[in-house]
Amino acid sequence: MIYSSKSALPSEWDKRQWGRHQAAQQYLKVDGLQVKYTGPGETDSQAASIFADHAVPQDVPLYYFEISVVNKGAQGFIGIGFCAEDVNLGRLPGWEPRSYGYHGDDGHAFHGSGTGRPFGPGFTTGDVVGALLDRGLNTISFFKNGEPVGTAFYGVQEQQLYPCVGMRTANEEIRANFGATPFAVDLAALQQQFRQRILDSISAVKLPAAVELAELGPGNKSPDEEELLSDALSLLAYAEPAASPCGHLLRAGQRLQLAEELNGALLQARGTSAQPLLESVYRQAVGLLDELKRQGSPAALVLDVPKLCLSGPATAQQQQRKGLQAGSSAAAAAAAAAGAAGSVQER
């Protein structure tokens, strides 16, 4: 699957809204992914649009779909874009508020008005046109035959948008691709660019600010932890510690816990927190990112703190060349949380 989401993804065109939009029901022939305009196509009042069966999920920060123009029809008045659920489907994409469209007859971009503005080239029979919703930048961009046309809309704030298409003249026909077959664009590359943009913003965060997230107060040990340390010290009194009454502490299942407790005791003896600073940073980074993901932060949705701690913001190959230490990677995880938090504040 090209997208990972807990919600249903767009998969075909939705005819359930036609009860509110007689024009769409009257003038469009819809068969799954295929849509054909069958109306007279003489005036703008005879335009018809349709949107997908599901909105773009909130946990998909970068979403792309495309259409293939099967037939440009009489005049090629075909529009592609995104719209809210409550728009008038008797209008082309972009003619209504909360609707964004790129039209094939003149290459204009439309938003909230029947008068568009120059944007890109037109498109016709045989062309593949794609629309990209970027929730990180709050933009909508378009592609033609796999190549970028450009960003048409900035400051897109609607939380729920549907892929949509509209037509207005006789015999216009398109077929949609919501990801069931390969796209004309390299979506994996676009997704990687999105992630890299987030990581670049993280790299720009000053590490001292991230380190300040850590709580450095001295820790208090529970009675069980104190007993574990006492048993561990008793091992030193035996010539063969594994055969002693506390020898079970050296077994595979106990060694990690014992090592953690001893490490904490040594840190406390030096007057620092029993929990290592980097572990505090790591835990807080994980907690903060989980909360940001719950709030739907686009940046947080693409960040993986454990992976960042192992490889850092740069690629694994770059990390090997630079020989970065674990400390900088853990600090980068906290920076990731701080960077993601900034993206939520901007929204």
What is the per-residue pLDDT across 67-91, written as a single tens digit (0 to 9) for each? Answer: 999 999 999 999 999 999 999 999 9
pLDDT at 330 over 50: no
**Helix (H) and strand (E) counts for the chain?**
10, 13
Question: What is the Cα–Cα distance from 279 to 216, expressed in whole angstroms?
Answer: 11
Q: Which two tokens stand for residue 264?
A: 């904490």
pTM comes to 0.72
Encoded amino acid at 89, one letter: L
Of the candidates 157, 161, 17, 13, which has an alpha carbon nearest to the alpha carbon of residue 81?
A: 161
Write down the H helix ranges in the chain.
22-27, 187-203, 207-211, 223-234, 252-269, 277-294, 298-301, 305-311, 316-322, 326-346
Q: So what's the pLDDT on residue 23? A: 60
Mean pLDDT of 207-212: 49
Q: Is the confidence at residue 291, as pLDDT, over 70?
A: yes
Q: How far is CA 146 from CA 10, 30, 128, 188, in A?
A: 21, 25, 7, 13
Domains of the chain: 16-185 (2.60.120.920), 201-215+276-346 (no CATH), 223-269 (no CATH)
Contact 9, 3 (CB under 8 A): yes
